[in-house]
A and B are shown apart, each in its own frame.
Chain A
Amino acid sequence: MTANDRASPQNLVDTLGRLEQGAGTTTLQRKRLPQQPVLPSIGQRTGSALSQAPSS
């Protein structure tokens, strides 16, 4: 085996792959909104108060 055999294209590709790894890899991820509780509906709003006769 000669030095040139050792620098064969396959060896070179393997080395390239190891040294260049990571190029083009990003942290972009698919995301979805998490579920959220449904807000309660707001029905009729009623209020009452006692109307006491004023003292005079």
Chain B
Amino acid sequence: MANETYSATSGAAGRAGIWSAIVTIDGVDQSARVVGDIRVEIEEGAARIAELTIRPAAGATFQIADWVGKPITIDVADIASGSPASVRRLFTGLIDTPTLDLDLKIIDLACTDNLQAIIDQIGAAAIDALTPDAYHSPVVFDPAATGWVRLQDRLSTWPATVELDAAGAARLSLWGAAGSAAMTFTESHLLDGSLSVSLSSRHQMVNSITIDFAYRFPRVKAEEYGIAYDYVNLGNLAQHVIDGNWFLRRDAAEAAIRAAGGTIQSITFTPLPNTAIGPWVPNPTVDDQLCMGFSASVSFDYAQQVVENHTITVETDGSIAAIGTLEETLSGALEGVYPPIQSAEQAILLYANDVSGIPPLDTATPLLGYTTAADVTLTADTDRAAANGAMETLIQVAKTRIWAAHRRNRLTASVPLNPALDVDQTVDVFTTNVSAHGKVARVSHVLSPANGQAVTEFSLAICSVAGTGVSHPETPTAPPAASSPGSSALTLTPTADFNFGPTEDHRITVTFPGVEDIERDLATIAIATAFDATIPEDMLLITL
């Protein structure tokens, strides 16, 4: 492969490399004014920075405006032929902090590629487009967050980082190493003694994350009772009349039911006979206003608060088996936005009983002999989809944290400066004692014109815990199961009583059972779900 070397620093055709740094500031070539080392630092998810020192011409005037915020580029070139060839960009950015040394008459320049400010400027839509697979939930993250903060929120849900490349263009770098490496370094490439390994501490690891997520919302309910009542029949009608008893008015029966708060779904009355029975003689003028009893279906509406307490476990079993359980917790909560429960209940009652023509937002469909329930219409920010989105986002945060914790191992080595090394590259390192395959996590180019050295130090992120070749399965991220509105049979029965005696008050009274506590009190539903979090096992074989 040709990528392992760069002709300007490794030489070609049997000659040593001859390189030169080309530094422009505000479009003017200042290469001849550079003294000391030029350092370019590249790290995952961070601004690319450069440090260098400029010695202005003797007698030059220093003005702050000439330096702060001025664009700067750093290139490296092969000048073996006498003119720059194979020019490669190492840095594009701005001077952030010039430091003036009046004794030595030099200016140290700390430069940045302005990553944070550029991300702040590109807007939420562009950030989302830059991280298309990431998750985001306004329930989990600050919905007002923009720019750099929004990007960090999204990147916490996906194993990737965003940096600017050497030319200043934003790019997404996935944590996972590519299957085949872009560069394979062997002992012939690496500087002697530069290879080192830094391993992650166990206490820095996490392989089991428990997410507690509470979702509270109301459900509307309906119960429908059948009530049948007869206070007189054909067999005792004659005696009823002889005793001077009263007959029940149909409208009084309906009024009593409504006074109890019930909604009459249907009602049928037992009519008085149309033939004389003993002393009783039909009176067609009024008999159809009276009845010997009635049979009705009566419904009541109310609501109940429900809270789903989700316990979501995200684990990597292979890691737990290797190093034991290392736990973290996350939590979240969402409350469905709905009118106050008692206002909603009143709206249903008033509409059902024709007091109001304004329909309620939601009602449950009554079913005779049962309590039924229905989900309600919540705001888009607080409905089931929002809750699911929040839980999926938290699951992704957990998966990403576990992955991050397992990729803190670093293999570091140095090679003659190679501008192709960047944090979006996958690299193999094969020496007598070390075999490694991983993605570059950090690069440091150091150019020392004074002694002709130009070195690139790079670190590979090695994700490993159980050993090369071990696979850690993943459960795809999906919404945990939700509770659903159900129905339950009514166990108690209503009663009716008509005071028909000649000396009584002639009132019809109906009594319906109270709502059972389990149907009315806050319903707490525990839902447990488990997800497997995958991590790759990057190759790292070391022979001591």
Give residues of chain A (41-56) contacting chain B, Cβ–Cβ below 8 Å: 41-56
CA distance A38 to B341 in the complex (A): 11
Knowing A4-B36, A28-B140, the reply to whether A50 touches B505 (Cβ < 8 A) is yes
Chain B residues in 8 Å Cβ range of A12: 39, 41, 51
Instruction: Say whether A51 contacts B510, CB under 8 Å.
Output: no
Give residues of chain B (91-114) contacting chain A, Cβ–Cβ below 8 Å: 96-97, 99, 101, 104, 106, 108, 110, 112
Instruction: Say whether A56 contacts B286, CB under 8 Å.
Output: yes
From B49, B261, B307, B330, give the contact of A19 (CB < 8 A).
Answer: B49
- Output the nearest chain A residue to B290 by Cβ-Cβ distance: A54
Instruction: Say whether B510 contacts A19, CB under 8 Å.
Output: no
For chain A, the bracket of interface size reads 35 or more
Instruction: Say whether A33 contacts B216, CB under 8 Å.
Output: yes
Instruction: Say whether A47 contacts B260, CB under 8 Å.
Output: yes
Knowing A1-B104, A26-B153, A45-B514, the reply to whether A52 touches B49 (Cβ < 8 A) is no
Instruction: Say whether B283 contacts A56, CB under 8 Å.
Output: yes
A-contact bits for B488-517, CB 8 A (1 contact / 0 none): 000000000010000001111111111101
Give residues of chain A (7-56) contacting chain B, Cβ–Cβ below 8 Å: 7, 12, 15-16, 19-20, 22-34, 36, 38-39, 41-56
CA distance A9 to B522 in the complex (A): 60
Instruction: Say whether B153 contacts A19, CB under 8 Å.
Output: no
A-contact bits for B504-544, CB 8 A (1 contact / 0 none): 01111111111101001110000000000000000000000
Chain B residues in 8 Å Cβ range of A44: 511-514
Instruction: Say whether A19 contacts B96, CB under 8 Å.
Output: yes
Interface check B145, CB cutoff 8 A: yes
Q: Which of B201-209, B245-253, B359-367 lies at the interface?
A: B245-253
Q: Which of B192-200, B331-339, B426-434 lies at the interface?
A: B331-339
In angstroms, how far is the closest chain B Cβ from the Cβ of A5?
A: 9
Instruction: Say whether A23 contacts B341, CB under 8 Å.
Output: no
Size of chain B's interface in residues, with CB distance under 8 A?
87
- Output the nearest chain B residue to A31 by Cβ-Cβ distance: B333
Chain A residues in 8 Å Cβ range of B36: 2-4, 6-7
Instruction: Say whether B142 contacts A54, CB under 8 Å.
Output: no
- Output the nearest chain B residue to A46 by Cβ-Cβ distance: B511
From A24, A30, A41, A47, give the contact of B45 (CB < 8 A).
Answer: A24
In angstroms, how far is the closest chain B Cβ from the Cβ of A49?
A: 4
- Output the nearest chain A residue to B291 by Cβ-Cβ distance: A51
Instruction: Say whether B506 contacts A30, CB under 8 Å.
Output: no
CA distance A26 to B307 in the complex (A): 27
Knowing A19-B112, A31-B333, the reply to whether A46 touches B513 (Cβ < 8 A) is no
Chain B residues in 8 Å Cβ range of A27: 141-142, 145, 149, 153
CA distance A48 to B498 in the complex (A): 9
Knowing A27-B142, A28-B397, the reply to whether A45 touches B53 (Cβ < 8 A) is no
In angstroms, how far is the closest chain B Cβ from the Cβ of A37?
A: 9
Chain A residues in 8 Å Cβ range of B511: 44-46
- Output the nearest chain B residue to A20 by Cβ-Cβ distance: B46
Instruction: Say whether A53 contacts B39, CB under 8 Å.
Output: no
In angstroms, how far is the closest chain A Cβ from the Cβ of B316?
A: 20
A-contact bits for B253-287, CB 8 A (1 contact / 0 none): 10111111110000000000000000000010110
Chain A residues in 8 Å Cβ range of B96: 19
- Output the nearest chain B residue to A51 by Cβ-Cβ distance: B252
From A39, A43, A51, give the contact of B305 (CB < 8 A).
Answer: A39
Interface check B80, CB cutoff 8 A: no
Chain B residues in 8 Å Cβ range of A24: 45, 152, 155-156
Chain B residues in 8 Å Cβ range of A20: 43, 46-47, 49
Instruction: Say whether A41 contacts B515, CB under 8 Å.
Output: yes
- Output the nearest chain B residue to A42 by Cβ-Cβ distance: B515
Knowing A1-B104, A15-B51, A44-B512, the reply to whether A49 touches B37 (Cβ < 8 A) is no
Interface check B487, CB cutoff 8 A: no
Chain B residues in 8 Å Cβ range of A1: 101, 104
CA distance A30 to B520 in the complex (A): 29
Chain B residues in 8 Å Cβ range of A50: 252, 505-507
Chain A residues in 8 Å Cβ range of B257: 47
Of the A-B pairs whose beta carbons lie under 8 Å apart in the complex, a sample of 17, sorted by A's number, is A4-B37, A6-B99, A16-B43, A24-B45, A25-B152, A26-B149, A28-B141, A32-B214, A42-B515, A45-B261, A45-B262, A46-B510, A47-B256, A49-B256, A51-B252, A52-B252, A54-B286
- What would 9 more interface pairs be, CB under 8 Å, given A28-B153, A48-B508, A54-B290? A15-B97, A19-B96, A19-B112, A22-B152, A33-B307, A44-B512, A51-B253, A52-B249, A54-B289
Q: Could you list which residues of chain A lie within 8 angstroms of chain B, going by C-beta atoms?
A: 1-4, 6-7, 12, 15-16, 19-20, 22-34, 36, 38-39, 41-56
| Closest CB pairs A-B (n = 4) | A47-B259, A47-B260, A3-B36, A49-B255
